Amino acid sequence: MNAGLRSLIALQDIDQKIAGLQKQISEIPQKIQSFQEELQRLKQAYQNSVIHSQELAKRRRTYEGEVDMMRSRLSKLKDQLMSVKTNKEYTAMLHEIQGAENQIRSEEDKILDIMEEMETLEKELKSSNNMLGIRTAELQASVRECEQSVPALEAEVAKLHEEKASMEARVESELLARYRRIAELKKGIALAEAKDELCTACHVRIRPQVYADLLHTENIYACDSCSRILFARGAL
């Protein structure tokens, strides 16, 4: 295989590694933001449950206060019942007492419903608090890991750039310029492997004679379809 082509293969491998690392670095801020947003959502959901629990407790106290007032009124009605003088007044008073008792039962049912909801919510809050603590630790660890990975990734990129410069020095300037031009047009992929008489980049068939020459000569060929520089593993 042509020595320059061999160097280009190594160069493209380095370029792909650099691109991959740079992509990782560029995605880190978004990852960190995603972790932080998830943590904020979890904390807000837990806080909303706490607020709901407090509202239930407030409603319960309100209903209990109303029931106390109703019981006081019912006690007075029963005291007054003993002082009525006619059957009509007695019947009316009994009806009023019955209405007050029904109203008390209705309010007490509301209190029971709230107590049941509070009991369920209390269990959920306890479980949620435990899960929140665990997930908070996990997310904070993920953020730290992302932040701490940046220097190492940047150091690796710098090292690869040094290797890239060294590899570029081995390639004839005209061939290197051709590589760069194609790489810019083809999203960083200037070289394509020829395999089973196909260009593995665009999957178009390579002319048989060109494929044979790739395997047995040092000539440099390009794919007729995608214009990428071809190489064959069997010729390495």
Domain boundaries in the chain?
14-171, 174-235
pLDDT digits (tens, 9 = 90+) for 93-124: 899 999 999 999 999 999 999 999 999 999 99
Total-model pTM? 0.70
pLDDT digits (tens, 9 = 90+) for 180-196: 999 999 999 999 999 99
pLDDT score of 167 more than 90: yes
CATH number of 14-171: 1.10.287.1490
pLDDT digits (tens, 9 = 90+) for 13-22: 999 999 999 9
Classified as helix, coil or strand, 201 is: coil
* Rounded distance between C-alpha atoms, residue 193 and residue 184, angstroms: 18
- Residues ≥6 apart with Cβ < 8 Å to 187: none
Q: How far is CA 83 from CA 79, 80, 89, 101, 117, in A?
A: 8, 5, 10, 20, 43
